[in-house]
A and B are shown apart, each in its own frame.
Chain A
Amino acid sequence: MKHAVRLLARYWRALLFGAWFYALIGLVPGHEYQTFLRPEFGGLLAVGLLVLIWFLAAEMTQFGREHSFGLNDAIHLIILMIPLAYLPLARGVLLDSKAFQRRWTGLPENQEEKAPVVTNTPANPSGPPAEPAREVTLAELCLRPDEYKNRRVAVIGMLDRAPDIKKRFGDDACVLFRFVITCCAADAMPAAVLLIGKIPADWPADAWVRAVGRFTVREDHGRPVPTLELDEATRAATPCNPYLY
């Protein structure tokens, strides 16, 4: 035991920096870090890795020297190892409909003022055939509703079937959402549209869906609700980058 403590006392800092370096370098291939951060942060992560190498090298210049290793050092070591223990758990995880429900607060004010309110126009009214759908992102729809009003658009997002949506907008209503990241998943904000139309009941929440339809902005209790009146919906594969930036 004494020997182990002595070994720890000598090498714990180097071990810690080495473990962190190993964990971070493992996130670089295949851009796995994008599960947590926006792509541009790869450069910052590389800088962090470089500093960690220097820390490790500086520790190596001290190898063999005695250091103290007390209770405080043990606490620091264990606390700093905790994130590494959670890393396998978070790999490949996406912010889901539960996160959406907790983070969704509605549309910002400046869009309210600009967005014209269109109420309950029937989807694809009889007459000329529908125009070709324009591929857009949910962020574009939410940020520039004016540009897409009454246009036929196609968007990809995740499905949310919250019961309160059905209560407020009817049985055919559900929500298509996607998260927009500024820096990391912690600050991700949802961009969402209300889908009005038949979605197969067996499509679960969080399923990726490509929805095509006419974009309008409804009014609900005096607030605008970006809405897609559905022409067709198909299951979609998870996009190579599930977040928007």
Chain B
Amino acid sequence: MNGAGTKQPLCASGQTQGNLEWANNLRFSSWNDPVLPEPPMSRPLPWGRILILLLAITALILPFMPGDNTSMRMFALVFLSIILEALPFMLVGSLIGGIIEEFVNRDKFMARLPRRSLTTVCLAAALGIVFPVCECAIVPVVRRLVRKGLPLSAAVAYLLGGPIVNPIVVVSTLMAYKFNWTVPAIRLAAGYLIAVVVGLVMGRLFSHRNAFLETHESHVHAYACGHAHSPETHGRPRPFFGRLVASVRHASDDFLAVAHYLVIGAAIAALAQTIVDRRIFLSYASLPLLPSLLMVLLAILLNLCSEADAFIAASFQGLLPLPAQMAFMITGPVFDLKLLLMYRKLFRRRAIIFLAGLILLSIFVVIAVMELVWRRLT
């Protein structure tokens, strides 16, 4: 909410350029509930953002500085590898989100959702099986599904379950572990369980409005009367091509909203890969729980794709116990740095803190149980 409290009719005829600007700045407390923002007052300088801007400019000019930069070249290689690998998925995910926004009718979508929230959450957590989306692509898709009325608990369940409970991840894990079915089965089951539990708890703790950010469209559509809108709010049909163009513009909005988080996450991951020696993790292999916790940390830092992380985990076979490898494979798809940053475009800060805490807690519980079983079996 922007604090004005005075609700205005959404569609005002005869808008001027100034009105367009006003409309652009509209924030929605809910889809049909726009609120007029306060007129801009004299505000203090946003020092935090200025600092970020300066840091970004420094990072931008750093590669042009003279000197021996072997480490910098290695950093650049890993940094760009992560970005180039994730970019197509993120672009396609944004496009899917844009198509959902333009072509999926909110009322029809809502009508098709199961009435019982538990069923919705259980289905949403397993949706990745028929609609596999990796973690880079899932945030834009979920943003649009939320706008179409997907409940919070189901949105969280899909957000966490989608990148782990999907056939591509099963196949890659199977290949990495030499067709040992136990490993992908445990990974799938643990990922599904975490997605369902965290989804249900988030649904209990937060309301839709408390959890999600108010959406804000940064542009005015060709067919609009000067404000952010959905086609169904106007009740008049639009030509297919117009909707297609609008869906691509929604997609580019979504992409720009989250892509910079990918860049920041990739930079941190590349830095970690350039500095961290993986053998450090082997020093604590015999201690209970610690290797698993270190592998959780490694997964958070490396920001690897859920389709590739099983191969890294498999490289620790014989060196670390299976629960530690599993900790790495469960954490990566649901919680890493770039995801945490991307969540900022979907959730409010408080919701992110709770979500992160719940995810880590549930991972910890799952790992602890696995360790107990593992120690009894071996």
Contact in complex: A186, B78 (CB < 8 Å): yes
A47 at interface, CB cutoff 8 A:
yes
Shortest CB-to-CB span from A110 to chain B, Å, is: 6
User: Given the complex, which residues of A lie within 8 Å of B24, measured CB to CB?
Assistant: 68
A87 at interface, CB cutoff 8 A:
yes
Give the interface centre of A67, A101, A187 by most chain B CB atoms within 10 Å.
A187
Contact in complex: B260, A76 (CB < 8 Å): yes
Give the interface centre of A57, A67, A79, A185 by most chain B CB atoms within 10 Å.
A79
Q: How far is the CA of A125 from the CA of B260 in the complex (A)?
A: 61
B49 at interface, CB cutoff 8 A:
yes
Q: How far is the CA of A45 from the CA of B94 in the complex (A)?
A: 15
B356 at interface, CB cutoff 8 A:
no
Shortest CB-to-CB span from B312 to chain A, Å, is: 6
Chain A 74-109 per-residue mask, 1 if CB under 8 angstroms from chain B, else 0? 111011111101111110011110110111111111
Contact in complex: A83, B79 (CB < 8 Å): yes
Return the chain A residue nearest B20 by Cβ.
Answer: A66
Q: How far is the CA of A57 from the CA of B322 in the complex (A)?
A: 49
Contact in complex: A184, B17 (CB < 8 Å): no
Q: How far is the CA of A12 from the CA of B267 in the complex (A)?
A: 23
B235 at interface, CB cutoff 8 A:
no
| Stretch touching chain A among B113-121, B124-132, B275-283 | B275-283
A119 at interface, CB cutoff 8 A:
no
Q: How far is the CA of A88 from the CA of B64 in the complex (A)?
A: 10
| Stretch touching chain B among A30-38, A150-158, A194-202, A233-241 | A30-38
Q: How far is the CA of A85 from the CA of B248 in the complex (A)?
A: 27
Q: Which of B91, B249, B315 meets A58, CB within 8 Å? A: B249
Shortest CB-to-CB span from B270 to chain A, Å, is: 7
A90-B88 contact given A67-B219, A187-B304, CB 8 Å threshold: no
A182 at interface, CB cutoff 8 A:
yes
Chain B 265-279 per-residue mask, 1 if CB under 8 angstroms from chain A, else 0? 011011001111111
Q: How far is the CA of A103 from the CA of B273 in the complex (A)?
A: 8
Chain B 1-24 per-residue mask, 1 if CB under 8 angstroms from chain A, else 0? 000000000000000010011001
User: Given the complex, which residues of B lie within 8 Å of A98, measured CB to CB?
Assistant: 70, 74
Give the interface centre of A13, A36, A44, A62 by most chain B CB atoms within 10 Å.
A36
Contact in complex: B81, A51 (CB < 8 Å): no
User: Given the complex, which residues of A lie within 8 Å of B57, measured CB to CB?
Assistant: 78
Contact in complex: A36, B80 (CB < 8 Å): yes
B352 at interface, CB cutoff 8 A:
no
Q: Which of B20, B77, B281 meets A93, CB within 8 Å? A: B77
B63 at interface, CB cutoff 8 A:
yes
Contact in complex: A184, B222 (CB < 8 Å): no
Return the chain B residue nearest A56 by Cβ.
Answer: B252
Give the interface centre of A17, A57, A58, A96 by most chain B CB atoms within 10 Å.
A58
Contact in complex: A74, B95 (CB < 8 Å): no
A126 at interface, CB cutoff 8 A:
no
A85-B64 contact given A108-B314, A186-B270, CB 8 Å threshold: yes
User: Given the complex, which residues of A lie within 8 Å of B282, measured CB to CB?
Assistant: 105-106
Q: Which of A13, A17, A71, A93 meets B76, CB within 8 Å? A: A93
Q: How far is the CA of A94 from the CA of B89 in the complex (A)?
A: 25
Q: How far is the CA of A107 from the CA of B94 in the complex (A)?
A: 40
Q: How many residues of A contact B (CB 8 A)?
A: 68
* Residues of A170-189 contacting chain B, CB below 8 A: 182-187, 189
A189-B84 contact given A51-B91, A183-B305, CB 8 Å threshold: no
Contact in complex: A36, B277 (CB < 8 Å): no
User: Given the complex, which residues of A lie within 8 Å of B87, measured CB to CB?
Assistant: 24, 48
Contact in complex: B60, A105 (CB < 8 Å): no
User: Given the complex, which residues of B lie within 8 Å of A82, measured CB to CB?
Assistant: 56, 59-60, 263, 267
Q: How far is the CA of A110 from the CA of B315 in the complex (A)?
A: 11
Q: How far is the CA of A183 from the CA of B56 in the complex (A)?
A: 28
Chain A 16-43 per-residue mask, 1 if CB under 8 angstroms from chain B, else 0? 1100000010010000010111000100
A105-B315 contact given A37-B84, A62-B249, A71-B50, CB 8 Å threshold: yes
User: Given the complex, which residues of B lie within 8 Å of A109, measured CB to CB?
Assistant: 317-319
B336 at interface, CB cutoff 8 A:
no
Q: How far is the CA of A106 from the CA of B61 in the complex (A)?
A: 38
User: Given the complex, which residues of A lie within 8 Å of B59, measured CB to CB?
Assistant: 82
Q: How far is the CA of A74 from the CA of B46 in the complex (A)?
A: 13
B302 at interface, CB cutoff 8 A:
yes
Shortest CB-to-CB span from B140 to chain A, Å, is: 12
Contact in complex: B269, A186 (CB < 8 Å): yes
User: Given the complex, which residues of A lie within 8 Å of B172, measured CB to CB?
Assistant: 182
Contact in complex: A54, B46 (CB < 8 Å): no
Contact in complex: B52, A75 (CB < 8 Å): yes
B294 at interface, CB cutoff 8 A:
no
Contact in complex: A101, B277 (CB < 8 Å): yes
Return the chain A residue nearest B312 by Cβ.
Answer: A187
Chain B 226-264 per-residue mask, 1 if CB under 8 angstroms from chain A, else 0? 000000000000000000010011011001100110011
A55 at interface, CB cutoff 8 A:
yes
A87-B312 contact given A41-B85, A79-B264, CB 8 Å threshold: no
Shortest CB-to-CB span from B89 to chain A, Å, is: 8
User: Given the complex, which residues of B lie within 8 Å of A80, measured CB to CB?
Assistant: 256, 259-260, 263
Q: Which of B53, B74, B273 meets A96, CB within 8 Å? A: B74
| Contacts A/B (CB < 8 Å), 7 sampled | A37-B85, A58-B245, A66-B17, A86-B63, A105-B319, A106-B282, A183-B305
Q: Give 4 nearest A-B pairs by CB, closest first.
A: A109-B318, A48-B88, A90-B76, A184-B81
